[in-house]
């Protein structure tokens, strides 16, 4: 039962650039962390999984050559296609879905800028999807969460923390399920989470406990956190 991964890294990175004192001239996934491009850490974790057969990488079209050269340099042979991403994350994923092999059974989708994902978590999610049509990784929220009237900046209610989970990737789906979900959502949708499209079909989504270290690098602070964790691994 073949599993293919789709990794979108075509985002503009506007929030990341806004967090920098001096904006970078290159996209966030290409920024060097300890001498290695950020997105390579992500691909290496996926590459290490024996349960993933191939990877489709969706990138900014203007940097296609740069991504291709880095993939070649780091010998990431499981990357079978490098494609231009779309206007939105969902568009990028949908482009990848349209290029899946006919005999693929499961599809894993993972943010390219979640470089600290473990291969163990990836494998757990793939094994679990054999029993469920859709699987997401998530962690319980730690802080108190309040719903706020943002126009007047007044608290409307305090949400019950015990039932709130912060969703991560990887997310894994039966191919026909995630294809149908994206086809029905239409082009140009702004969903930042693939599972929400599956939920709209009324299909149950299984939750797998994720990892608090599996952060999405969105700001400069996230990059510092990543560098700290990598340095701790080197010490060990």
72-127 pLDDT, tens digit per residue, is: 999 999 999 999 999 899 999 999 999 999 999 999 999 999 999 999 999 999 99
| Cα torsion 97, 101, 106, 110: sign | negative
133's CB contacts (< 8 A; 6+ apart) are 173, 174, 177, 198, 203, 204
Taking Cα atoms as reference points, which of 177, 3, 167, 187 lies closest to residue 78?
3
Residue numbers of the domain that contains 164: 2-235
Three-state DSSP state, 124: helix
Q: What is the CATH number of the domain that holds 108?
A: 3.90.550.10
Strand blocks (E) in 60-159:
79-84, 104-109, 134-140, 146-149, 154-158
User: What's the chain's average pLDDT?
Assistant: 92
Q: What percent of the chain has pLDDT over 70?
A: 92
Taking Cα atoms as reference points, which of 188, 147, 185, 192 lies closest to residue 168?
192
The predicted-structure confidence for 139-152, as pLDDT tens digits, reads as follows 999 999 999 999 99
Per the CB < 8 A criterion, the answer to whether 86 and 63 are in contact is: no
Beta bridge partners of 135: 172, 206
The predicted-structure confidence for 15-73, as pLDDT tens digits, reads as follows 555 555 545 667 889 999 999 999 999 999 999 999 999 999 999 999 999 999 999 99
In this structure, what are the phi and psi dihedrals at residue 46, rounded to the nearest 5 degrees?
A: -70, -40
Query: What's residue 22's pLDDT?
Result: 46
**Higher confidence at residue 187 or residue 62?**
62
**Low-confidence winner among 100-104, 137-141, 173-177, 191-195 (lowest mean pLDDT):** 191-195
Number of domains in the chain: 1
């Amino acid at each position: 039962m073949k599993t293919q991964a789709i990794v979108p890294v075509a985002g503009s990175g506007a929030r990341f650039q806004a967090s920098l004192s001096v904006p970078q001239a290159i996209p966030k996934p290409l920024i060097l962390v300890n001498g290695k491009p950020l997105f390579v850490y992500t691909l290496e974790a996926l590459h290490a999984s024996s349960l993933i057969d191939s990877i489709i990488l969706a990138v900014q079209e203007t940097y296609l050559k740069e991504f291709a050269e880095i993939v070649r340099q780091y010998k990431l042979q499981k990357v079978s296609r490098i494609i231009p991403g779309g206007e939105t994350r969902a568009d990028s994923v949908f482009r990848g879905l349209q290029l899946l092999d006919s005999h693929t059974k499961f599809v894993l989708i993972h943010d390219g800028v979640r470089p600290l994902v473990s291969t163990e978590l990836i494998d757990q999610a793939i094994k679990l999807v054999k029993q469920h049509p859709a699987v997401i990784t998530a962690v319980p929220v730690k802080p108190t969460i309040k719903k706020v009237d943002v126009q007047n900046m007044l608290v409307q209610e305090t949400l019950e923390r015990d039932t709130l989970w912060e969703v991560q990737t990887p997310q894994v789906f039966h191919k026909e399920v995630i294809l149908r979900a994206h086809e029905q959502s239409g082009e140009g949708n702004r969903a930042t989470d693939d599972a929400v499209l599956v939920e709209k079909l009324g299909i149950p989504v299984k939750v797998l406990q994720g990892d608090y270290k599996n952060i999405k690098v969105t700001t400069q602070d996230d990059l510092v956190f990543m560098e700290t964790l990598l340095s701790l691994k080197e010490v060990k």
